[in-house]
A and B are shown apart, each in its own frame.
Chain A
């Protein structure tokens, strides 16, 4: 069977994890500082954008998705697209009611 996938382990170095952690802490500090400024309507968008960047780092590096088989990326895309569609379709009700 297709066991060759599991044999291939991309071992990420300690340094990479520490570096990513520094980036994540940096982004947290950024988003907290930005929240002090009154950005009006785009405040939510900016905060969510930063949160999305942080999750991208966690998913790709900490959770190894960058180094995994393609099937995992397809699965994640399916799950996220479904979630997004549900949000959009519900918004059609709550926005226009």
Chain B
């Protein structure tokens, strides 16, 4: 516990601190997740204010969104969250191959989510429903704002999905190269936390945009 460590300083000048603290790393990751929470929090706050001001227009706007794609994407993200958790569980049990497979599934599901999102947005653009368009400028201001909020919030979320995919790809390489192992998997665990946060945000975005009709 409170052992005193005598250091010969000369030896340590050339070495970085290699003292490993998984618990500390996890604290740091959670603090970072709070910043993400507050980042989206600002948008949710705007959503609350505008929904209150334009509740009727928001209802009409929500009818335009495709509930089928929304539900499908929700289930994709939930499934990817599960494969992520399972991938860590497999790593804890030293099953490297299984862990890699589950991690790859997570990345594939994330990609599937983005593909759906792409088609959903393109359909909207096809109908002229994008910020600054003639169609949208002709609609009541509340509906204009609904789409403003829709693109801002799902867009920021999509950026987080992309960042998550990049991080998870790095983790895949780390596992292949054995720098993540069954005794040292904090990087994988923290990436998992990030991925679950992306899922959590979507859990709230989904009903607020798709189900409020």
Contact = CB atoms under 8 A, between A and B. Distances in A.
B207 A50 contact: yes
B93 A71 contact: no
Contacts, number: 118
18 contacts: A1-B1, A13-B89, A25-B75, A28-B75, A35-B212, A43-B212, A47-B207, A50-B207, A58-B200, A59-B200, A68-B26, A72-B30, A75-B27, A75-B31, A75-B34, A79-B34, A87-B45, A94-B53
Interface of A: 1-3, 5-6, 9, 11-14, 17-18, 20-21, 24-25, 28, 31-32, 35, 43-44, 47-48, 50-51, 54-55, 58-59, 61-63, 68-69, 71-72, 75-76, 79, 82-83, 86-87, 90-91, 94-95
A94 B211 contact: no
A17 B85 contact: yes
A54 B78 CA distance: 10
Interface in B25-60: 26-27, 30-31, 34, 37-38, 41, 44-45, 48-49, 52-53
Given A58-B203, A59-B200, A17 B82 contact: yes
B159 to A, nearest CB: 20
A20 B211 contact: no
Given A6-B22, A28-B75, A86-B45, A47 B212 contact: yes
Q: Chain B's interface: helix, strand, loop or mixed, by majority?
A: helix
Contacts of B204: 48, 51, 55
Contacts of A20: 82
A6 B22 CA distance: 6
B92 A91 contact: no
B52 A3 contact: no
